[in-house]
């Protein structure tokens, strides 16, 4: 039997969140956190609306998932996020001991890989899923922003 709840399914949900950020004029990044095929947190970047550099999609999703679980460690959880996490978010994911991170687009300037941020040894990581969709939304955002200024 085919499981409809695969990585692509959940990344599409993260992309829906990124689209919601885009619609609000926010840098379009979205995230969901999943445990046993169930989405327990959805979030999108809100740094402009909240005037808060800490309001990245991942940070909100971590807080939300921990609140749902009633514990701060995200054991058996997977984060799907449309852009590679930054130092701050990777640092938060380190503390959360999350089991898996799946990201779409690579952030070659400020992603945790190029910045050398350490993840928890328990955390598995993979990148590139639906990268094209995530990147195109980001590119569209920055092109439109440039044309407005």
Tokens coding 85:
């996490």
Bridge partners, 78 (sequence order): 34, 100
Catalytic residues: 58
User: Distance (Å, rounded) from C-alpha 53 to C-alpha 86?
Assistant: 12
Nearest to 21 by CA among 60, 73, 64, 75: 60
Contact present, 82 and 18 (Cβ < 8 Å) = yes
Using CA atoms, how far residue 90 sits from 83, 116, 123, 125, 149, in Å, is 12, 10, 11, 11, 32
Question: What DSSP state is assigned to residue 135?
Answer: H
Q: Which is nearer to its own copies, 82 or 96 (CB)?
A: 96
Q: What is the smallest separation between the CB atom of 63 and its own copies, expressed in angstroms?
A: 5
Q: Confirm whether residue 56 is marked as ligand binding.
A: yes
Q: What is the smallest separation between the CB atom of 58 and its own copies, expressed in angstroms?
A: 10
Q: Confirm whether residue 77 is marked as ligand binding.
A: no
Interacting residues toward its own copies by CB under 8 A: 47, 51-54, 59, 62-63, 66-67, 70-73, 86-92, 94-96, 115-118
Contact present, 97 and 66 (Cβ < 8 Å) = no
Q: What is the smallest separation between the CB atom of 132 and its own copies, expressed in angstroms?
A: 27
Q: Confirm whether residue 89 is marked as ligand binding.
A: yes
Q: What is the smallest separation between the CB atom of 87 and its own copies, expressed in angstroms?
A: 3
- Residue ranges of the annotated binding site for Zn(2+) are 56, 86, 89
- Residue ranges of the annotated binding site are 56, 86, 89
């Amino acid at each position: 039997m085919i499981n409809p709840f695969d990585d692509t399914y959940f990344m599409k949900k993260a992309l829906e969140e990124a689209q919601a950020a885009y619609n609000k004029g926010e840098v379009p990044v979205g995230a969901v956190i999943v445990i046993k095929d169930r989405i327990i947190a959805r979030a999108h970047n809100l740094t402009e609306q909240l005037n808060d550099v800490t309001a990245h999609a991942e940070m909100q999703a971590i807080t939300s998932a921990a609140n749902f679980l009633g514990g701060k460690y995200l054991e058996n959880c997977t984060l799907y996020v449309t852009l590679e996490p930054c130092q701050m978010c990777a640092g938060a994911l380190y503390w959360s001991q999350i089991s898996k991170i799946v990201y779409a687009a690579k952030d070659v300037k400020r992603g945790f890989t190029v910045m050398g941020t350490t993840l928890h040894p328990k955390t598995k990581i993979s990148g590139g899923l639906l990268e094209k969709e995530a990147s195109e939304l980001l590119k569209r955002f920055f092109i439109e922003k440039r044309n407005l200024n």
